[in-house]
Amino acid sequence: MKYLYFDFKLFLILAFTFIIMTVAGTLSHELGHYAVAEYLGYDARIDYQSMHTENDVRRKYLDSTFEKYSFEIKNNLSFPGKQNYDAKRKEYRSDRIKILAGGPLQTMITGTIGFVLLLVYRKKIFSVNKTTVTGWLLVFCSLFWLRQTANSFMWTAGYIFTGEKSMRADELRLARYLDFNIWTIHSITGILGLIVLFTILSLLPKNQVLTFISAGLVGGILGFYLWLIKFGQYILP
């Protein structure tokens, strides 16, 4: 019956933490994109939910050249500056792959560090009825992996119910750039996120599992709504 125990005080603390971590996870993910873009020489900025490159002379060159020689490019015909265009397009494609990968890699690396430390110190941070403060910090760090699971679930559900294959997610665009099946990256990382989640649930004291799951659902949904829909656009436009 310990799995049915509900700690309201712990629920409030964890739900609030899930709200904060939803915001922190979103922004740190975008910082992963930002860091790579800046390193590659792009003028980058982030807002509450995405990263943008500005004054992108490389993209402007490619777009203007394509507009001028679209027929030749589509049919792989010769045109003035073709060699330079092909080289710039190849370089830009490589940059886009690196920038796209920066966000998910930051998220997964952070989650992996937390998860490894959680496993290493599990005997010290979990007892029969209690989780230490350090333990909760490592749990929430590990849960950065849940972004992968949530995105994979939402994309799959959207595809099942609408039949549309949205290409907005980083993992889907990465798969397209790398000529992988679009299911590959988001499915594999989504499954890994599930493994992390169920491992955490198995390590938590039984009397905290229901409280943790309830707080995760409420805090995660509230964090998503409050930041990505309601207030984020005004705080970090």
Categorize the per-residue pLDDT at 157 as very low, low, confident or very high, splitting at 50, 70 and 90: confident
Categorize the per-residue pLDDT at 218 as very low, low, confident or very high, splitting at 50, 70 and 90: very high
Domain boundaries, the chain: 2-235
| pTM score | 0.91
**Quick check: 136 and 221 in contact, CB under 8 A?**
no
Average of pLDDT values for 205-222? 97
Torsion, Cα 67 98 191 186, to 10 degrees, reads 0
Considering the chain, what percentage of its residues have pLDDT values greater than 70?
Answer: 99
Give tens-digit pLDDT for 15-36.
999 999 999 999 999 999 999 9
Q: Which of 23, 178, 189 is closest to 94 using CA atoms? A: 178
C-alpha span between 9 and 214 (Å, rounded): 12
Q: In this model, does residue 164 exceed pLDDT 80? A: no
Residue 160, CB-side half-sphere exposure with 13 Å CA sphere: 6
Torsion sign, CA atoms 50, 189, 132, 218: positive
Average of pLDDT values for 128-149? 96
**3-class secondary structure, 15:** helix
Average of pLDDT values for 95-119? 97
Q: Which of 218, 229, 189 is closest to 108 using CA atoms? A: 189
Indicate the average pLDDT of the chain. Answer: 93
Considering the chain, what percentage of its residues have pLDDT values greater than 90?
Answer: 81
Q: In this model, does residue 166 exceed pLDDT 80? A: no
Greatest CA separation for the chain: 76
Residue 134, both tokens = 């350090």
Categorize the per-residue pLDDT at 162 as very low, low, confident or very high, splitting at 50, 70 and 90: confident
Average of pLDDT values for 132-144? 97
Note the pLDDT of residue 155.
Answer: 83
Task: Name the most confidently modeled range: 63-77, 163-177, 205-219.
Answer: 205-219
DSSP letter, residue 131: B
C-alpha span between 194 and 143 (Å, rounded): 10
DSSP letter, residue 99: H
Give tens-digit pLDDT for 189-203.
999 999 999 999 999
Element (DSSP H or E) covering residue 43 = strand 43-46
C-alpha span between 171 and 62 (Å, rounded): 24
Strands 43-46 and 51-54, by their bridges, are antiparallel
